[in-house]
Amino acid sequence: MELLPLSISLIVPSRGRPQILMRMLSSVFKTVTHKEAVETVVLLDEDDQESLGLQFQNEKIVRLIGGKMSMGERVLHCLQVATGEILVLVNDDVIMRTKGWDEIIRTSVNSFPDGIYLLYPDDGFKSQSVATFPIFSRSSFDSGLLEGIQAFQGSFLDLHLLEVFQRIKQKGYNRIRYLDEILFEHMHYRLGKASWDATYAQRNRFIDGPVFADHSANRRLVAENLVQKIIGNSNPKTLDVILEQKSKTCLGYVFELFFDSGLPFKKRMARALWFFCHQKIGPAITFFTRLIVKLLHK
């Protein structure tokens, strides 16, 4: 009897982009090897009438409708419904370019029989630097990998996940794989691949900086629990404290990073510099960039 391939669930929160969403869905099923083993869980907003009018004929597309939620809540809502053993977080403004990407993922997953891994493809934008479209297991999710992400409004989730696995790597267990042979092309306006739209306009890339800083204790604890699972400890620590008692300032978090031995020295120095610039200088640069983009698209 032939074994069924590991099932994959793509998680796709979407708002106000029906044509772009349909383009993404079309690319999924044009490029997969095993259509029967790949589902796409789409979350639409209850007030997004144009997207709600879409008709999904494919039975492997699960449509959810939700009210006003943070991005973290949207992701969790989709994951609770998803049935896949392999979970992939993607955006609606993505085009799957690599034929057989699902088989490449399954082959990579086979290297981690305990289910503790973070894979991510090339997005044609940030490439290896950030796990823009993270791939992880149902087992990791059930073990608390995404504990506390409800607070994230729309950004930093990819870096949050990547850091958890960087901490695991620092403890001697490298479970990170960059799949450069897979291209999930991010059709982002900053690359000139898309028009400026209301969804981009509503997104604040900087609002989650303080949330990311406050979740540093969470990342340390989640990483420790996953390490315990790797070594076979069936009694991990309880995730009973998600946030620090006191919110960190930008400088407070940067200072904390200098003494955080859970990350490699060069990486935490680079992250401290990046975080400071992102939070203190980035908003001004983005304001002028968006202004120029809007003028160009008029």
pLDDT band at 20 (very low <50, low <70, confident <90, very high): very high
Q: Span 50-59, mean pLDDT?
A: 80
C-alpha 189, offset from chain centre: 19
Q: Report which of residues 260 and 282 the model is more confident about.
A: 260
Mean residue pLDDT across the chain: 86
Q: Is 202 domain-assigned?
A: no
Instruction: Show which of 162, 192, 222 is a domain's final residue.
Output: 192
Q: Is 116 domain-assigned?
A: yes
pLDDT for the residue 280: 81
User: 10-14, 16-20, 243-247: which range is least confident on average?
Assistant: 243-247
Q: Span 27-47, mean pLDDT?
A: 93
Residue 133 has pLDDT above 90, yes or no: yes
Same domain, 243 and 288: yes
**Which residue range is the domain that position 41 belongs to?**
8-192
Q: Span 218-230, mean pLDDT?
A: 93
Q: Span 233-254, mean pLDDT?
A: 66
184-199: pLDDT as tens digits: 999 877 777 766 555 5
pLDDT for the residue 220: 93
pLDDT for the residue 1: 40
Instruction: Show which of 130, 165, 192 is a domain's final residue.
Output: 192
pLDDT band at 15 (very low <50, low <70, confident <90, very high): confident
Q: Span 65-82, mean pLDDT?
A: 92
3-state SS, 238-259, equals CCCCCCCCCCCCHHHHHHHHHC
Name the strands in the sheet holding 176-186, side by side, starting at the edge strand that comes first in the sequence: 61-66, 38-45, 8-14, 86-89, 135-137, 118-122, 176-186, 94-96
Q: Span 273-296, mean pLDDT?
A: 65
How many other C-beta atoms are found inside a 10 Å radius of the C-beta of residue 240?
6
C-alpha 159, offset from chain centre: 8
pLDDT for the residue 245: 46
Distance CA 139, CA 22 (A): 30
Give the chain's domain count: 2
pLDDT band at 298 (very low <50, low <70, confident <90, very high): low
Q: Is 225 domain-assigned?
A: yes
Instruction: Show which of 160, 192, 224 is a domain's final residue.
Output: 192
